[in-house]
Amino acid sequence: MCLTRLDKTINNPLGTIQNGFKQFVIYDKLSIHFECCSLGGKKEVPLDTWLTAEEYEVVSGNGIAYKTGFHIYPSAKETEFLHGRRLVYYRNVTAVGMEWGKMCFIAREIYVPSDEKAEPPFPVSRQGQ
């Protein structure tokens, strides 16, 4: 799935950890799968670890090329229409745009906790790691 509209790319993303929402296929609390793509050829989402997106170039709906990553919505309000949404933590945003008419970030890394109330491990790693 690609962005409908790419608004900007970020060449030097920050490693600041933020939280947002991602759409998954959820079979039960501990069986979560990527909706469209896979990671390392697998659909099942590893929990409680930082995941790095596989990187290749795609073209947005408005014809601008960008590097792939995890599609993250910044707020619960932005994802009310999604089935299978889940709170995740993300860092290293490389692009910002629109998907399904909602703001969407493209992040290089995500952390999906097995307990939705848990936070990722700290300290935060430095940019580029």
> Is residue 75 a part of any domain in this protein?
yes
> Is residue 116 a part of any domain in this protein?
no
What is the extent of the structural domain holding 26?
A: 5-111
> Is residue 125 a part of any domain in this protein?
no
Look up the pTM and report it: 0.87
Residue 123 tokens read as 């300290």
For residues 14 and 90, which has the higher predicted lDDT (pLDDT)?
90
pLDDT for residue 81 is more than 80? no
> Is residue 118 a part of any domain in this protein?
no
Sign of the Cα pseudo-torsion (105, 110, 113, 118, in order): negative
> Is residue 119 a part of any domain in this protein?
no
For residues 40 and 98, which has the higher predicted lDDT (pLDDT)?
98
> Is residue 127 a part of any domain in this protein?
no
Distance CA(12)–CA(59), nearest Å, equals 20
| Per-residue pLDDT band at 75 (split at 50, 70, 90) | confident
CB 60 within 8 A of CB 3: yes
pLDDT for the residue 100? 85
Mean pLDDT of the chain: 87
Share above pLDDT 90 across residues of the chain, in percent, rounded to a whole number: 57
> Is residue 124 a part of any domain in this protein?
no
Q: How many domains does the chain have?
A: 1
pLDDT for residue 29 is more than 80? no
CB 91 within 8 A of CB 98: no
